[in-house]
Amino acid sequence: MAEAEVGDDVFGDDPTVNRLQERAAEVTDKEAALYTVTGTMANQTALRTFVRHGHEVVAEATAHVITVEKNSAASLSGITYRPVPGERGVMEPGQIAEALRPDPLDVRVVDLVAVENTHQVGGGAILPLETLQGIRRVTREAGLPLYMDGARIWNAAVASGVPVRDYAAEVDALMFCFSKGLGAPIGSILCGPAAFITEARRNRLQLTGAWRQAGVIAAAALVALEEGPKRLHEDHHNARRLAEGVAEVVPGGLKPEDVETNIVFVDPTPLGMTATEAADRLRGEGVLVTIVAGKVRMLTHVDVSTSDVETAIEAWRRIASEA
Ligand SMILES: Cc1ncc(COP(=O)(O)O)c(C=O)c1O
């Protein structure tokens, strides 16, 4: 990062940012890419580019674009949603076909279908390639674009053995994050057709996300992109071990076999605790967790070692024995 060659990305002449965008386009097999400061900004830039003000997006009810971003989409771009309930975040093609049935009054119009892979609230569940292909058939028939929030698409690819470019081939555009499992401090990227990315670039500026010598952090993203995927299987292994260890001390609190990638959700109610109480007690044991969808959420990543996982299991064991 200290040695990164930089320019001014507003003028499109930061060589490190350009290298990152070219590399991301290459690995996803899309024509172009746009580096953004956050995953949320990549999603909001994509939605604003695909969807007309006042029109709707079909997405899974617990998707990040709805749960966390619906106010951003509404206030920044006049976008609302048509939510579809999924099974651990995965929507079936038939559900989407149903959701796309035209409004008899012709008042509500859908401009986009969005999927999330892996699905965060779904516990890091992978959207199977065949399901995505089925969804693609439905959107094609409806003449609609398909977008993928692939914040953790590299986890999906490593766990399933399906290359990122094969998932990407089924959608018009996708974003992924460098700042999650791949291990960079900051940054996400939106990948898609050249004309779409040109328009997205204008929209990123409107969303106040145009930046100058971003090459300093793009250098870290380049390392994350090359090195990060090589070690994600370790995170998945650690997550499964964490799930198995916690399941022993919180019977009924989770199903370890549901842990496909790097996210572990625990329902602590079998211990007679709310998620907030469990999180507070774990913090007292030196283990930091977040609360998502009313459950305790733990993630494994580059900074969580195998021995950290054992420490976390021991912390759960202590709070369970005191419950
Ligand atoms: C599925 C998904 N999409 C998008 C985001 C947004 O990423 P960021 O926190 O970089 O804005 C997140 C963050 O947790 C996420 O889990």
DSSP string, 232-259: HHHHHHHHHHHHHHHHHHSTTS--GGG-
Q: Is residue 128 part of a domain?
A: yes
Cis amide linkage into residue 306, ω under 30° from 0? no
Q: Are residues 236 and 92 in the same domain?
A: no
Give dist(CA 150, CA 182) in Å, integer. 12
CA of 175 from ligand 1 middle (Å) equals: 10
Q: Is residue 88 part of a domain?
A: yes
Which residue range is the domain that position 293 belongs to? 231-322
pTM over 0.95: yes
Closest by CA to 199, choosing from 48, 63, 88, is 48
Q: Is residue 1 part of a domain?
A: no
Closest by CA to 134, choosing from 81, 97, 176, 165, is 97
**In the listed set 206, 229, 252, which residue is the last one of a domain according to the structure?**
229
pLDDT < 50: residue spans in the chain: none
Q: Are residues 275 and 189 in the same domain?
A: no
pLDDT tens across 27-72, in order? 999 999 999 999 999 999 999 999 999 999 999 999 999 999 999 9
Q: Which of 68, 90, 176, 207 to mutate to test the pocket of ligand 1 (most atoms within 8 A of CB)?
A: 68
Give the CATH number of the domain where residue 213 resides.
3.40.640.10
Q: Are residues 266 and 221 in the same domain?
A: no
Residue whose CA is at the smallest distance from ligand 1 atom 7: 39
State the pLDDT at residue 168.
98
Q: Are residues 16 and 134 in the same domain?
A: yes
Give the CATH number of the domain where residue 300 resides.
3.90.1150.10
Q: Are residues 189 and 236 in the same domain?
A: no
Q: Are residues 163 and 53 in the same domain?
A: yes
Q: Is residue 106 part of a domain?
A: yes
Q: Is residue 86 part of a domain?
A: yes
Residue whose CA is at the smallest distance from ligand 1 atom 5: 39
State the pLDDT at residue 131.
98
Q: Is residue 209 part of a domain?
A: yes
Our CA angle for 27, 175, 144, nearest 5°, is 105
CA of 186 from ligand 1 middle (Å) equals: 12
Q: Are residues 215 and 250 in the same domain?
A: no
Give dist(CA 281, CA 317) in Å, integer. 11
Q: Which of 40, 174, 179, 217 to mutate to test the pocket of ligand 1 (most atoms within 8 A of CB)?
A: 40
CA of 291 from ligand 1 middle (Å) equals: 15
Cβ < 6 A, ligand 1 pocket: 38-40, 43, 64, 116, 120, 149, 151, 177, 179, 188
DSSP strand pairing (290-292 vs 263-266) = unpaired
For the chain, helix (H) and strand (E) counts, in that order, are 13, 10
Residue whose CA is at the smallest distance from ligand 1 atom 13: 39
Q: Are residues 186 and 241 in the same domain?
A: no
CA of 229 from ligand 1 middle (Å) equals: 18
CA of 183 from ligand 1 middle (Å) equals: 14
Backbone angles phi and psi of 111, in degrees to 5: -105, -15
Residue whose CA is at the smallest distance from ligand 1 atom 4: 39
For residue 58, the SS3 value is: strand
**In the listed set 229, 249, 278, which residue is the last one of a domain according to the structure?**
229
Give dist(CA 170, CA 12) in Å, integer. 29
**In the listed set 211, 229, 247, which residue is the last one of a domain according to the structure?**
229
Q: Are residues 269 and 158 in the same domain?
A: no
**21, HSE (Cβ side, Cα atoms, 13 Å):** 23
Q: Is residue 139 part of a domain?
A: yes
Number of structural domains in the chain = 2
Q: Are residues 14 and 148 in the same domain?
A: yes
Give one word for 263, left, alpha or beta, with left for phi > 0 and alpha for psi -120 to 50: beta
Contact present, 118 and 149 (Cβ < 8 Å): no
Q: Are residues 56 and 106 in the same domain?
A: yes
Q: Is residue 4 part of a domain?
A: no
Q: How buried is 133 (Cβ within 10 angstroms: 0-12 exposed, 13-18 middle, 19+ buried)?
A: middle
Q: Which residues are within 8 A (CB) of 9 and not within 5 positions of it... i.e. 6 or more apart?
A: 17, 35, 210, 211, 212, 213, 214, 215
State the pLDDT at residue 164.
98
Q: Are residues 192 and 109 in the same domain?
A: yes
Q: Give the ranges where 143-180 is alpha helix by DSSP (H).
A: 153-160, 164-168
State the pLDDT at residue 323.
81
